[in-house]
Copies of this chain bind each other. A is one copy, B any other.
C-alpha cells in the first residue's frame, strides 16, 4: 500500500495539488458569483490552467460541484460550526461563540457574499437531487452536533428540559443562515447587531431559571 506510491508519488502529488487548486478557485468563484453562472472557463482562467486540464481531472461540472460541496464546503462548516460544538466547557459559552461572537469576526468579504452553504442551498437546493443530498448531509451533521450539545446542557442542568433539543437546533441554524443572506443587502453591520441581540435574548431564555 505504501510501496505502491513510492514511485508514482510525484505524479500523484501533482494531480492532487492541481485538483486542490481547481477546487479552491471554484469554491471562491461559486461563493462570489454563484454556482450556475460560474463557468469552467472562468475557473480554469483563475487557476492559470486550461480546459484540457479540467476535463482530465473531472468528468463534468457536476462532479466538480459535488466535490466542492462534499469536501471543501463540508470541511469548512465542520471546522467552523460543528467541531467547536463538541469541545468541553460551558454549553452557553460554546453556543455564544459559534452563533453569536463568531459572526462579528467575519470579514467584509464573508459579510458581502453571505454563507457559502446558504448560497448553495438557495441556488441549487432544488436543482438536482445529488446536490440536495450533499447539502443535506452537512446540515444534518451540524444539526446532530448541536442537538448533542443541547442534550449535554440539559443533563448538566443549565438548559431547560421543557424544550425540544431538535427544535432549538433547527431554530438556531435557521436564524443563522437567514441572517447571513439578509446581511448581503446592507452596507453596514446594524442588521447583524440586531440579530445578535435577538439571539442573545433567545439563548438567555433557554437557561434554567435559578
Contacts and interface: CB of A to CB of B under 8 A. Distances in A.
Where chain A touches its partner, the secondary structure class is helix
Max count, chain B CB within 10 A of own CB: residue among A114, A173, A178: A178
A194 interface: yes
A181 B113 contact: no
Given A170-B194, A171-B175, A173-B178, A185 B114 contact: no
A17 B181 CA distance: 34
Interface string A172-183: 111111110110
Interface residues of A, number: 51
A136 B182 CA distance: 8
Contacts of A123: 34, 119, 122-123
A126 to B, nearest CB: 5
A167 interface: yes
A125 interface: yes
Contacts of A122: 114, 118-119, 121-123, 181, 184
Closest 8 CB pairs of A and B: A171-B198, A178-B178, A174-B178, A167-B197, A125-B184, A122-B122, A167-B198, A205-B205
Interface of A: 32-34, 36-37, 112-114, 118-119, 121-123, 125-127, 132, 135-136, 139, 163-164, 166-179, 181-182, 184-186, 191, 194-199, 201-202, 205
10 contacts: A36-B36, A125-B181, A136-B185, A171-B194, A174-B175, A174-B178, A174-B195, A176-B178, A177-B178, A178-B181
